[in-house]
Amino acid sequence: MRVALAVTAKFFIFIVCTVYAGDNMKAFPPPDKGQIRYVIHLAERDDESNYQVELIVGQTVKIDESNQYFFGGQIKKENLVGWGFTRFVVSELGPMAGTRMAVDPNAPKVDRFIRLGGEPFLIRYNSRLPVVVYVPEGVDVRYRIWRAEPASKEADEG
């Protein structure tokens, strides 16, 4: 009787975990009015501890091609209570700033993707969970995968 009960309990736990793992998006609420939800599904890797994901949030703007630009704002990390999942939120895209090099006024404007300023926003690589980012309408989310070399190198004294 105990064996049957233990097997039944393990089977039940397996089924419940499989159902929740199969639909992780239930944990993430729909976007608020004026927001868009982006979802990134990462491919499974052999050793995911050697990888990181850079989230790149910005907007395509018609602008000169000589100056360097960025938007103000920040990506905030929020934990979803009761689920143990994390979502990333950009509440607003701040004003655009940049260098002020003189540009030929007759030079054509080009479409450029202008990102949030500051250091790259790196998160842990985890293919088992989606990366979910909420941003204002009109804002795009891109990402880049960073990989560490498997072997470390020794530093020289000096």
Tokens 């995911």 belong to: 48
pLDDT value for 3: 45
The answer to whether the CB of 35 falls within 8 A of the CB of 63 is no
Q: pLDDT category, 18, cuts 50, 70, 90?
A: very low
Q: What is the tens place of the pLDDT at every residue in 102-134?
A: 999 899 999 999 999 999 999 999 999 999 999
What is the pLDDT at residue 130?
Answer: 96
Residue 139: other Cβ atoms inside 10 A: 21
Spatial separation of the C-alpha atoms in residues 127 and 121, rounded to whole Å: 18
Q: How confident is the model at residue 23 (pLDDT cuts 50, 70, 90)?
A: confident
Question: What is the structure's pLDDT at 22?
Answer: 53
pLDDT of the residue at 4: 46
Q: How far is CA 142 from CA 6, 26, 98, in A?
A: 46, 23, 21
If you count DSSP H runs as helices and E runs as strands, how many of each does the chain have, helices first? 1, 10
Average pLDDT, rounded, for the chain: 88
CB 61 within 8 Å of CB 96: yes
In which band, very low, low, confident or very high, does the pLDDT at 2 lie, cut at 50, 70 and 90?
A: very low
Q: What is the pLDDT of residues 39-56, one digit of tens each?
A: 999 999 999 999 999 999
